[in-house]
Structure formats: structure tokens, C-alpha cells
A = this chain, B = another copy of it.
């Protein structure tokens, strides 16, 4: 079950402001496509970069359908919530700054009823104060203090992932069905045969060696699908040792 319906995803506008590198425009479009988003807007891009990105081999339908605007004001005019992204760690004096997870939760809620614009600034300087003045609040990726500034395409990928990530998805680490105790015991018995035949146990004489081996096999937590293979392996090994012939070389 996806967290957002396609109708809700279609209410998000990813807005790239003054992007310079065509690869970054392409990368943002690719991440959008990866996460089911379709509406890209570019504001005042470096023209050759935008043309190059659009005409690149394999340019996505997201890029082909991108809308171009002259100002942030025009690009966000039909949106009910405008969110800026930033690498800044400390609280901006003018805007509330939210952690990515909290911000994504608010955006999801707002997408139920209206359009939301998510702004990414230029590679060099990010969003300017004028750009930011159009935003209701800012959101930041929790980057490490040693290097807070993310690549634009990667920042977009992380923000969009957080947006579509289903935090309430059932968390059932998928385990393989385990082998039944009787199968595990048959393997244990066959392994014990192999250990006797090979002399392994003679070298390590302890009173409770059989119990130790039993516990050793239990700690494998064998999946059911593998039990028959391991039984076959030990059976063949025992047969070979009992046959007592030198192996063909």
C-alpha cells in the first residue's frame, strides 16, 4: 500500500531554482520518476543547461513535461504550501526550520487537499533570501557537520524518498520458514555419524560432546528449504568415508 495516492503525488511541484548543471536537472527528474512524482518546474535555469538536460538521450517524460518560469512567485502561484530546502544547520532567523522527517509528514498531510511546492536552490548558493521569502518554512536533510552541503540530485532523491517512505508500513523482516525439529535432529544424527567416522570426536573427548553438537546445529537456525540439502551433504560424506576408498584423482 503506497503512502500517497497518485493523485496526491501529482499535487507536488518540485521546483528547481536557478540550476546551473544540466546533469543535476536530469538527476532531479530521475529521482522524481523513481518515486512516482511527475511535475517538475524550473525557475530561471541556465538556459543551455536546461536545453541540454531536456535533449539528453534518455531524458525522462518528467523532464520533457517540465514547466519553465521566470520567477519563484510565478512557479509557486498555484500552491497552497511552499517549502524550501536548505543545508543550513542552525535555525534560520526568518523561517521555521524543520527536520526532514517532520517536514515530510506535514507535506504529506497538505497534499491530501492542495498543491505543495518543494524548492531546491542553485548548486552554488542554494535558495536566496528572496526565494526564501516565498516559503512557509524550510526543511533540511540531517547532514554531518563535516560536510553539510549535498549534491542537488542527491538532496532531491533523499527528500523525495522521505516523502514517499511509508513510516507505518508493516515491518516484518522476511524470514525463511525454519526447519522442523525432527529434520534438525536427523541432520544432527547424520553429522554425529560423520564426526565419529572422521575421528573428529576422538580428538576432542568431552563427556557431553553429543549435546554440544546438538546445540551447535540448533544455533544454525536452518531454514526448511536447506534442511534436505544439509542432510544429503552429510549422508554423502558418511557414505564416502564408510566406503573407505581413496578418492579418484
**Per-position binary interface string of chain A over residues 225-249, scored 1 when its CB falls under 8 Å from any chain B CB and 0 otherwise:** 0100110110011011110111100
CB of A144 closer than 8 Å to a CB of B: yes
B171 touches A240 (CB 8 A): no
Contact yes or no, B244 A229, CB < 8 A: no
Q: Decide if A216 is an interface residue (CB 8 Å cutoff).
A: yes
Choice from B98, B158, B167, B229 contacting A157 with Cβ under 8 Å: B158
- Is B144 within 8 A of A33, CB to CB? yes
Neighbour of A195 across the interface among B102, B222, B233, CB < 8 A? B233
Q: Which residue of B lies closest to A3 (CB)?
A: B142
Q: Are B151 and A30 in contact (CB under 8 A)?
A: yes
Closest to A149 in B: B34
* Chain B nearest CB, measured from A91 CB (Å): 8
Question: A residues within 8 Å of B by Cβ?
Answer: 23, 27, 30-31, 33-36, 60, 91, 96-102, 105-106, 141-144, 146-151, 153-158, 161-162, 164-167, 169, 171, 173-176, 191, 194-195, 197-200, 203, 216, 219-223, 226, 229-230, 232-233, 236-237, 239-242, 244-247
Verify B219–A169 contact, CB threshold 8 A: no
In the assembled complex, 11 residue pairs joining A and B whose CB atoms fall closer than 8 Å, in A order, are A27-B151, A30-B150, A34-B147, A96-B174, A106-B173, A157-B158, A176-B219, A199-B236, A200-B233, A216-B226, A216-B229
With A141-B161, A198-B236 in contact, is A96–B216 under 8 Å at CB? no
A240 and B153 within 8 A (CB): no
Distance in Å from the Cβ of A56 to the closest Cβ of chain B? 13
Q: How far is the CB of A141 from chain B (nearest CB, A)?
A: 7
Question: In whole angstroms, how far apart are the Cα atoms of A40 and B134 in the complex?
Answer: 40
Tell which of B216, B220, B232, B244 touches A245, judged by Cβ atoms closer than 8 Å: B244
Give A97 to B172 CA distance when docked, in angstroms: 11
- A164 and B142 contact, CB distance less than 8 A: yes
CB distance A98 to B173 under 8 Å?
A: yes
A60 touches B165 (CB 8 A): no
How far is B235's CA from A203's CA once the two chains are assembled, in angstroms?
A: 13
- Answer whether A226 and B219 are a contact pair too, CB < 8 Å, given A146-B36, A147-B33: yes
Give the nearest-CB partner of A97 in chain B. Answer: B174
Contact with A176, one of B96, B100, B101, B161 (Cβ below 8 angstroms): B96
